[in-house]
Homo-oligomer: A and B are copies of this chain.
């Protein structure tokens, strides 16, 4: 369990770097863990015991799943050499090598396709774009429950979206059959306390929460306010930062997607026709 290091209003305030809109009602240890999330990018080599891994997966399976389809699976990679090869495929991120476990969350239509084949019945609905979203969403909900569970146990995590940079090689490395696609990686391990990973401020709540209907007015002001706050966050780490520069560069071109501009073809090749 994460230690309660600060008062509830401080915990919410640090997420926005602003006094919370109102004092939090009914604060509890779950809200504390959720709000104290930070991505950890430096790990100790301590192993994650099997019993803990299974607890993360039972938490993941406790997440909602669309129509109880359960169209996801997770692959736990602990072999240092396989982990290093996956790191090389996923943006060469050192923390993948450093941490003891990489969980690869997959969209998995293969299980249901297998059942349909056994009964010789069609499963045409699985071939639509919609079903890929259902499987990606199922995998995301499960993974996020695992993140929350891990953090409640004092472990650190960071998602690896770069697992989608080279899907063919990742599928080969993990022996993924057709109908199974690596959605996102998740590094899990004991945070190296020397990193001092911090709670990153987010956009003001008014930028993302709309009442009754979507209201685009005010976004410029919200973003301007955010630039001040996130600049302060990075300045504390002796770094310059403009969120706008960064996000516009991140999505500025096909090349900036680092191979993920080919995702449509790669999914099709891996058994997701995306009709």
Contacts and interface: CB of A to CB of B under 8 A. Distances in A.
Interface of A: 1, 12, 15-16, 20-26, 28-31, 33-37, 39, 49-55, 57-70, 72-79, 82, 106, 108, 110-112, 114-116, 118-119, 121-126, 128-131, 133-134, 136-137, 140-141, 143-145, 147-149, 151-153, 158-159, 161, 164, 173-177, 180, 183-184, 199-200, 202-203, 205, 207-216, 219-220, 223, 243-244, 246-248, 250-254, 256-257, 260-261, 263-264, 267, 274-275
A12 to B, nearest CB: 5
A78 B209 CA distance: 13
A75 to B, nearest CB: 4
Residue of A25, A59, A210 ringed by the most chain B CB atoms within 10 A? A210
Contact of A257 (B62, B78, B128, B161): B128
B250 A125 contact: yes
A134 to B, nearest CB: 7
A37 B64 contact: yes
Given A223-B115, A247-B112, A57 B137 contact: no
B70 A177 contact: no
- State the number of copies, please: 2
Contacts of A118: 220
Contact of A247 (B39, B115, B247): B115
The 5 residue pairs across chains A and B that have the minimum distance between CB atoms = A30-B152, A125-B251, A140-B140, A130-B260, A175-B213
Given A65-B202, A175-B214, 16 more contacts: A37-B64, A57-B208, A60-B208, A64-B147, A69-B251, A74-B210, A110-B216, A111-B223, A114-B216, A115-B244, A115-B247, A115-B248, A130-B164, A131-B257, A174-B214, A175-B215
Contacts of A75: 210-214
Nearest to A151: B30
Given A175-B214, A213-B174, A254-B125, A159 B110 contact: no
A24 B55 contact: yes
A223 B223 CA distance: 49
Contacts of A30: 1, 29-30, 33, 148-149, 151-152
A250 B67 contact: yes
A31 B149 contact: yes
A21 to B, nearest CB: 5
A177 B248 contact: no
Contact of A20 (B58, B112, B115, B144): B58
B1 A22 contact: no
A137 B184 contact: yes
A54 B22 contact: yes
B159 A64 contact: yes
